[in-house]
Amino acid sequence: MSTPGDYAAVRKDIAALLKQPEYDDGSAGPVLVRLAWHSSGTYDHETDTGGSNGAGMRYETEGGDPANAGLQHARVFLEPVKAKHSWITYADLWTLAGVVAVKEMGGPEIEWKAGRTDYVDDSKLPPRGRLPDGAQGADHIRFIFYRMGFSDQEIVALSGAHNLGRCHSDRSGFHGAWVNNPTRFSNTYFRLMLSRSWKEKVLDSGVRQFVHYDEDAEEELMMLPTDLALLSDPSFRPWVELYANDKERFFEDFAKVFAKLVELGIERDEAGKITNADNVKGGYHS
């Protein structure tokens, strides 16, 4: 047990669990980033529903959404941290874990603020179907991300998270990693998107994705239809080109937009205290 509010101690323990030699590419980092994103990415600006507050993925309605398949691995990785620092809320822990993972994998420092609660407000629960479907195109991407309040530039910056991790046939149906070193945060995803020739491949399951094979690579790399939609869309493409050519700029923009993502639906006063979650039941609240 640490002192309530000692987020530095929590960060340290998250960093220490990232190395997982038996899991995927040897790191829990990518799936933790996806947990932070899916816990936040259900937000709808118009109805002010969804978002990371409440950690709704603990329950079947949200946790059992097929879009969240596989994220139980991330939640299980974090259980010992929650047990040791029981004062932190799941909503804070899951978003902080994504931020720490990005940094530890060589990415930018992302601003993160505490205070989310684990109180589930039934009127704020998101319906299923709020997260993007990789089989679709630019219109779908805009529909999903405009709903959260993001611009075209922010959508492309956020998509750069696909530098990390991989697709698992038994989770999403897609298969493979986007880059050769999927536990190192960089702008390689954008560079490969532009420089390689991507060929359509229909997997045995009937799922359609795009692949490229480099002779010296260990495995075939992949892109989702939604990834390549960023190339064919005239408003997305200039951002892909910018981020492929300017890693610093990508890191800067990614840090800003990921910080915005994990704050969706959260209102704070000038001192940073959350003002729209007074119904705090359980969890630590200062």
Let me know how many helices (H) and strands (E) the chain has, helices first: 11, 5
* DSSP H or E stretch at residue 142: helix 138-148
Between residues 179 and 224, which has the closer beta carbon with respect to ligand DDH? Answer: 224
Shortest distance (Å) from residue 61 CB to ligand DDH: 20
Shortest distance (Å) from residue 133 CB to ligand DDH: 6
Shortest distance (Å) from residue 271 CB to ligand DDH: 28
Coil vs helix vs strand at 216: coil
Q: Which of 279, 285, 264 is nearest to 40 (CA)?
A: 264
| DSSP tag of 27 | B
Comparing every residue's Cβ against ligand DDH, the nearest one is: 165
Cβ partners under 8 Å of residue 166, min gap 6: 24, 25, 30, 176, 177, 178, 182
How far is the first Cα of the chain from the last one, in angstroms, to the nearest whole number?
17
Out of 162, 178, 239, 285, pick the active-site residue. Answer: 178
Between residues 36 and 55, which has the closer beta carbon with respect to ligand DDH? Answer: 36
Between residues 168 and 212, which has the closer beta carbon with respect to ligand DDH? Answer: 168
Shortest distance (Å) from residue 132 CB to ligand DDH: 3
Q: Which of 144, 163, 164 is nearest to 154 (CA)?
A: 144
Residues of the shown chain interacting with ligand DDH in the complex, contacts defined by CB under 6 A = 30-31, 33-34, 37, 70, 132-134, 141, 158-159, 161-162, 164-168, 171-172, 174, 224, 226, 258
Out of 38, 73, 162, 175, pick the active-site residue. Answer: 38
* Cα within 13 Å of Cα(70), Cβ side: 21
In the annotation, is 37 catalytic? no
Shortest distance (Å) from residue 136 CB to ligand DDH: 7
Contact 152, 239 (CB under 8 A): yes
Cβ partners under 8 Å of residue 91, min gap 6: 39, 52, 53, 54, 55, 116, 117, 118, 283
In the annotation, is 38 catalytic? yes
Between residues 13 and 133, which has the closer beta carbon with respect to ligand DDH? Answer: 133
Between residues 56 and 134, which has the closer beta carbon with respect to ligand DDH? Answer: 134
* CA pair distance 95, 139, nearest whole angstrom: 28
What is the set of active-site residues? 38, 178
